[in-house]
Amino acid sequence: MADGIGRTFLEQTKHHHLKRSDQMMGVRQPPLELPYDLEQPTVALPQPSTCPVHSIHVDQAIRQRRSVRQYADTPLSLVELAYLLWSTQGVREVMEGHATFRTVPSAGARHAFETYILANRIEGVAPGLYRYAALEHKLVETDLSPDIADQITAGCFGQRFVRTSAATFVWAAVPYRMTWRYGERGYRYLHLDAGHVCQNLYLSAEAIDCGVCAIAAFDDDRMDELLQLDEESAFTIYVATVGKKRP
């Protein structure tokens, strides 16, 4: 295999290269969720259990799952968005502030992601960029600029279905939440966890007649800037569009 950055990363994150993690050194763990300005407006989300979902066998959801890039003009209801957020990062239990058990698997229950939503067509929600506060199950306004959807689309190299989706999910990774326990190998786990999250979005979307398209092609620096991320502590890791399927 040719030498390169990827190969070096795989080699240097093998177990025999790892040093003692901060957890092993007795360093206090990072918070379970990034803080946010409590004065920022928020949107209360309905309980996901109130979402009218189709009874669909998991085998059927797997068989009919495919990437969808063209969507109907029909908006998502707020409860449907709440259901998708719960399906991908919903908190089932908080263990004494040390860990969360959620609806997706994560290495060591680290759950190192923050979810951002570009709301294009969500009933009762002003168009714009929001962050999902998973512990409180609510949306926090991040950027309601009139051109934020165009900017996010440009950050995804102009892929038009970002703009025409009902909503676009953008996941940011907080690496120290993972590397605190696993050291540099934790970066491997971040990318594995991203796959778990997005697959849950694909499968849960089938239950509400929605399609999804995962996106890995984006301008990392531009997306981090739009999400107002501190590049030292978080970075954009994955994107996915959602919308109602065309008849």
Residue 3: the pLDDT is 77
Phi-psi region of 91 (alpha: psi -120 to 50; beta: other; left: phi over 0): beta
Check residue 14 and give its pLDDT: 96
Domain 42-244 in this protein, CATH class: alpha beta
- Does position 21 have pLDDT exceeding 70, yes or no? yes
Burial of residue 55, with CB atoms counted within 10 A of its CB: 0-12 exposed, 13-18 middle, 19 or more buried: exposed
In angstroms, the CA 77 to CA 83 distance is 10
In which band, very low, low, confident or very high, does the pLDDT at 2 lie, cut at 50, 70 and 90?
low
Each residue of 146-178: pLDDT tens digit?
999 999 999 999 999 999 999 999 999 999 999
Q: What is the mean pLDDT of residues 71-92?
A: 98
**Position 132 confidence tier, pLDDT thresholds 50, 70, 90:** very high
> Which residues does 142 contact at the CB level (< 8 Å), separation at least 6?
40, 116, 128, 129, 130, 131, 227, 228
Q: Which pTM value belongs to this model?
A: 0.96
Return d(Cα 33, Cα 10) in angstroms, integer.
28
* pLDDT confidence tier of residue 221, bands split at 50, 70 and 90: very high
Note the pLDDT tens digit of each residue in 118-131: 999 999 999 999 99
What is the predicted pLDDT for the residue at 247?
A: 86
Q: Taking the domains of the chain in order of start, what are their residue ranges? A: 42-244
Does the structure show a pLDDT above 90 at 97?
A: no
The confidence score (pLDDT) of residue 90 equals: 97
